[in-house]
């Protein structure tokens, strides 16, 4: 009987303890729920409750036709602020090769003067006339005279491209030159021989003038004559020999190449 009384006493004590602990937890907020912030009202005033904190300002691009309008979400109590439209960057980005755009010239007739290197006389004086745009023809003269070395070239052509910087043409060219030089003949004791090259021919040429830089290339077909003259004298292995002249004449092509600077105005 005593044992039963003791057991029942402990059971009643444990039940009262559990009941008191549960009553103390009633009315407390859940740990997963944010507490409600409120202010204690004073006498005669209404209770004020604060609103949750506004989200931070964000920036979001909004496409508007061919431009992009950047806007920001305003904070509570502030007007909306709109930035001016901005063009979007090109996408996808790729390298674009620069395109040459020709600039038309005045279309008037032009005169030409300058110096070039090449045949017919190694260093040539150039004079030319470029017709107006309505008559795109070309007439040029180049050559020089140095005594025994002399030559000339005449060009009659058609200008197929003409703008403010670049001009190109094709022409029919007549060339004629005589180049003379002397050299020491090692078979002779003191004789100096001479060599003369004479050529006369006709052929097609192509030329251009780019901001004053002049270039002409072509080929001429004609008769080439080579004359070698040796004066009288004693020659090793031959003894005394009189003056002699050797002439070689043949039909062959000759290259035409001139490069230099010519001024157009």
pLDDT digits (tens, 9 = 90+) for 55-78: 555 455 545 444 444 555 667 776
In tens, the pLDDT along 129-185 reads 999 989 999 999 999 998 788 999 999 999 999 888 899 999 999 999 998 877 655
What confidence score (pLDDT) does residue 65 get? 47
Q: For residues 85 and 62, what is the distance between their CA atoms, to the nearest angstrom?
A: 10
What is the per-residue pLDDT for 261? Answer: 96
H or E stretch including 99?
Answer: none
Maximum mean pLDDT: which of 19-23, 36-40, 89-93, 172-176: 172-176
CA 153 to chain centre: 37
| Residue range 195-250, pLDDT digits in tens | 889 999 999 999 999 999 999 999 999 999 988 887 666 665 556 666 678 888 99
Domain boundaries, the chain: 57-94, 110-264
The CA distance from 19 to 25, in Å, is 10
What is the greatest pairwise CA distance in the chain?
Answer: 173
**C-alpha span between 231 and 225 (Å, rounded):** 20
Residue 80, pLDDT > 60, answer yes
Q: Using CA atoms, how far apart are residues 69 and 131, in angstroms rounded to an integer?
A: 57
Nearest to 195 by CA among 179, 209, 211: 179
Domain 110-264 class in CATH: mainly beta
Task: Give the contacts of 188 (CB within 8 A, at least 6 positions apart).
Answer: 230, 233, 234, 235, 236
Give the model's pLDDT for residue 185.
Answer: 58
Residues with Cβ within 8 Å of 117's Cβ and at least 6 positions away in sequence, in order, are 123, 124, 258, 259, 260
């Amino acid at each position: 009987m005593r044992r039963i009384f003791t057991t029942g006493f402990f059971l009643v004590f444990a039940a009262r303890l559990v009941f008191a602990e549960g009553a103390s937890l009633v009315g407390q907020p859940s740990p997963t729920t944010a507490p409600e912030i409120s202010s204690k009202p004073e006498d005669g005033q209404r209770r004020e409750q604060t609103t949750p904190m506004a989200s931070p300002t964000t920036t979001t691009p909004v496409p508007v036709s061919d431009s992009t309008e950047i806007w920001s979400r305003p904070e509570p109590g502030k007007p909306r602020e709109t930035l001016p439209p901005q063009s979007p960057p090109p996408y996808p980005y790729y390298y674009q090769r620069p395109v040459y755009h020709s600039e038309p010239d005045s279309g008037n007739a032009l005169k030409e003067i300058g110096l070039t290197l090449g045949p017919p006389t190694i260093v040539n004086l150039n004079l030319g006339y470029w017709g107006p745009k309505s008559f795109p023809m070309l007439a040029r003269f180049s050559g020089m005279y140095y005594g025994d070395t002399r030559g000339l070239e005449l060009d009659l052509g058609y200008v197929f491209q003409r703008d403010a910087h670049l001009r190109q043409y094709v022409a029919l060219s007549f060339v004629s030159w005589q180049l003379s030089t002397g050299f020491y003949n090692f078979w002779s004791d003191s004789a100096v021989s001479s060599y003369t090259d004479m050529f006369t021919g006709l052929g097609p040429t192509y030329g251009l003038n780019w901001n004053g830089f002049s270039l002409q290339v072509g080929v001429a077909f004609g008769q080439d004559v080579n004359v070698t003259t040796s004066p009288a004298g004693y020659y090793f292995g031959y003894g005394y020999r009189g003056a002699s002249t050797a002439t070689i004449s043949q039909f062959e092509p000759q290259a035409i190449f001139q490069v230099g600077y010519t001024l157009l105005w």
